[in-house]
Amino acid sequence: MARRWRVVLGVALVLAGLCATIAGLAIALLVGTDGSIGLPPTRIVAAGTAITLPQLDVPALPRRASVVLDVALADTARPMFVGVGPSARVDAYLRNASIDVIEQIDWPGAARTTPIEGSATPGPPGEQTFWVTSTSGRAPHLRWEATPGDWSLVIMAVEPRAPLDVTVTGSVTISILGPIGIGVLVVAIALFATGIWVTVRAAAPDVAPSTAPQPPAS
Structural domain for 89, as ranges:
36-174
In this predicted structure, the answer to whether residue 3 has a pLDDT above a threshold of 80 is no
The total of structural domains in the chain comes to 2
- Which segment, 90-94, 103-107, 174-178, 198-202, is predicted with the most confidence on average? 90-94
Using CB atoms within 10 Å of the CB of residue 85, give its burial: 0 to 12 exposed, 13 to 18 middle, 19+ buried.
buried
Q: What is the pLDDT of residue 32?
A: 63
Mean pLDDT (whole number) for 147-151: 93
Judge whether 123 lies within some domain.
Answer: yes
Q: Are residues 87 and 153 in the same domain?
A: yes
Is the same domain home to 91 and 24? no
Q: Which residues of 183-200 are buried (b: 16+ CB within 10 A; e: fewer)?
A: ebbeebeebbebbeebbe
**217, part of any domain:** no
pLDDT band at 18 (very low <50, low <70, confident <90, very high): confident
| Residue 109 maps to a domain | yes
Given a cut of 70, is residue 42 above it in pLDDT? yes
Which carries the bigger pLDDT value, residue 104 or residue 182?
A: 104
Give the 3-state secondary structure of residue 121.
Answer: coil
Q: Which position has the higher pLDDT, 204 or 40?
A: 40
What's the burial of 47, exposed, middle or buried (CB within 10 Å: 0-12/13-18/19+)? middle
How much is the pLDDT for 33?
67
Q: Is the separation of the CB atoms in 156 and 164 below 8 Å? A: yes
Q: How confident is the model at residue 92 (pLDDT cuts 50, 70, 90)?
A: very high
Return the higher-pLDDT residue of 126 and 25: 126
CA distance 71 to 40: 11
Q: Which residue has the higher pLDDT, 174 or 216?
A: 174
**Helices 2-31 and 177-203: crossing angle, nearest 10°?**
160
- Average pLDDT value for the chain: 83
For 50, residues 6+ apart whose C-beta sits below 8 A from its C-beta are 94, 97, 99, 100, 122, 154, 155, 156, 160, 164
Mean pLDDT, rounded, for 146-155: 94
Question: Which alpha helices (DSSP H) does 32-97 contain, by range?
Answer: 87-93
Are 134 and 86 contained in the same domain?
A: yes
pLDDT: which is higher, 65 or 38? 38
pTM for the complete prediction?
0.72
Q: Tell me: pLDDT of 91 over 70.
A: yes
**Which CATH number characterizes residue 166's domain?**
2.60.120
Please choose, from the candidates 195, 187, 193, the residue with its C-alpha nearest in 3D space to the C-alpha of residue 24: 187
Residue 107 located in a structural domain: yes
Q: Cα–Cα distance between 207 and 132 in angstroms, integer?
A: 73
Is pLDDT above 70 for 93? Answer: yes
pLDDT digits (tens, 9 = 90+) for 70-86: 999 999 999 999 999 99
Q: Is residue 189 part of a domain?
A: yes
214 assigned to some structural domain: no
pLDDT at 36: 78
Q: Which of 152, 151, 158, 133 lies closest to 143 in space, CA to CA?
A: 133
| 57 and 88 assigned to the same domain | yes
Q: Are residues 78 and 94 in the same domain?
A: yes
Query: Alpha helix (H) ranges present in the chain?
Result: 2-31, 87-93, 177-203
CB 113 within 8 A of CB 190: no
Give 214 or 22, the one with higher predicted confidence: 22
Instruction: Report residue 2's pLDDT band, with 50, 70 and 90 as the boundaries.
Output: low
